[in-house]
Amino acid sequence: MLSRVADSLYWMGRYLERAENVTRLLLVTEDFSTETQGLAEDLAQTAWKDMLTIFPSAQLTRDITPFAPLAVPYLHAFFTDQANAYSILVSIRKARENARSVREALTLEVFLALNEAFRALEAYERKGMPDLPAFRDALSATHKGIFTVVGAIEHTSTRDEGWRFLKLGESFERSYRSALVLRTKLPALLAAEARGDAPLYYTQWRTLLRGLSSLENYRRVYGARLEPNLVIGFLLFDADSPRSLRYGASIVRDYLAAISGPAELTAPARIIGKLYADLRYDDEAQMRRGDFAGLLDRVVGELAKTHDAIATQYFVT
């Protein structure tokens, strides 16, 4: 397939996944900040500021006004602000631009669903959001719209090379963004243990799991009790959870192998393969060592290298 088309599909996958991640994080953070701002405003503030670390170079364009809820400037910036490179509207617009430039490589259903999601976001931007409930409604509807696109891809795409590049982009973005969420939030959360405000402490762990859409999956494995070590183990090393780092590395590795053919070992496949081996076979030692900040730095770094190697291998010919 054309390198340009593969490149566009890869990025379409990345932007779609990114839009879904932003939507989910906004919904979860909004919940958290509403729940905690009266109790511990600093925690609520940190939760929002984390968005700017998870999505580096994202920008707030509205001032934080004294009496407005904390969430408002962040929701504005990350929902439909065209000036913020990480807003949902910008991600969906870019996904659609990529789709438009390779329209013949997609099914009509996928294109229709994506077009509809984009037009809905444009309408939200035009109308503006009067209050938090309006944001919440619109974000939930957007979440569904994105899942409709993902579902259309799942149900109508032929499993050819183009599909594999799209899925590669999607799974890469998921792993990379999950690693950034963990790197941003985990060290602070571990340091907070001493505070001893138990209900609030567990709310934070629960929010971390929800932010990575893993709360229910965690409960299925370990029950309702939130043990920090179990949560960390689950988010980093679980074999089946779609957002654990180990699973993410394995799936990126699998799509790369499907693209190159199992016999060929490409540069990106080597990098991701080594990372996967670490996460798969070194899990117990890592848990004992407890240097999660160091581990997460390395994961983020290796993933960034994988992306560069993918681009060199396939998009620049």
Partner 1 sequence: MPEKKAFDEAFDGRGTARQHYRPLVSILESFTQSEIERRERLQKLSLMDQGITFAVYGEKEGTERIFPFDFVPRVIPALEWERLQAGLVQRVTALNLFILDVYQGQKCLKDRVIPPELVLSRKEYKRELLNVIPPRQIFTHVVGTDIIRNDAGDYLVLEDNCRCPSGVSYVLENRNTLNRVFPEFFKYYPVRPIKDYPTLLLDTLLHAAPRFSEKPVVVILTPGMANSAYFEHSFLAREMGVVLVEGRDLIVEDNYVFMRTTQGKQKVDMIYRRVDDDFLDPLTFRRDSLLGVPGLMNVYREGNVGLANAPGVGVADDKSVYAFMPALIRYYLGQDALLPQVQTYLGARTQDFVYIQEHARELVIKTTGDSGGYGMLMGPFASKKEIEAYLAQMKRNPGNYIAQPLIELSAHPTYVDGTFEPRRIDLRPFILYGESVRVLPGGLTRVALRPGSYVVNSSQGGGSKDTWVLAAKDG
> Which residues make up the interface to partner 1 (CB under 8 A)?
1-6, 97, 100-104, 108, 111-112, 115-116, 119, 161, 165, 259, 314, 317
Q: Assess contact for 237 and 246: CB atoms under 8 A.
A: yes
Smallest separation, CB 119 to partner 1 (Å): 7
Q: What count of Cα atoms within 13 Å lies in the side-chain half-sphere of residue 172? A: 31
Least distance between partner 1 and beta carbon 144 (Å) = 17
In angstroms, the CA 243 to CA 212 distance is 6
Nearer to partner 1, 42 or 104 (CB): 104
1, 73, 113, 213, 264 from 150: Cα distances, Å: 22, 29, 9, 16, 29
The type of residue at 282 is D
Q: Which is nearer to partner 1, 55 or 314 (CB)?
A: 314
Nearer to partner 1, 175 or 266 (CB): 266
Smallest distance, partner 1 to C-beta of residue 6, A: 5
Q: What is the smallest separation between the CB atom of 145 and partner 1, expressed in angstroms?
A: 13
Closest approach, Cβ 314 to partner 1, in A, equals 5
Helices of type H across 128-160: 132-156
When the beta carbons of 109 and 283 are compared against partner 1, the nearer one is 109
Give the DSSP letter of residue 11: H
Question: For residue 36, how far is the Cα from the chain centroid?
Answer: 24
5 or 215: CB nearest partner 1:
5
Other CB atoms within 10 A of residue 206 CB: 18
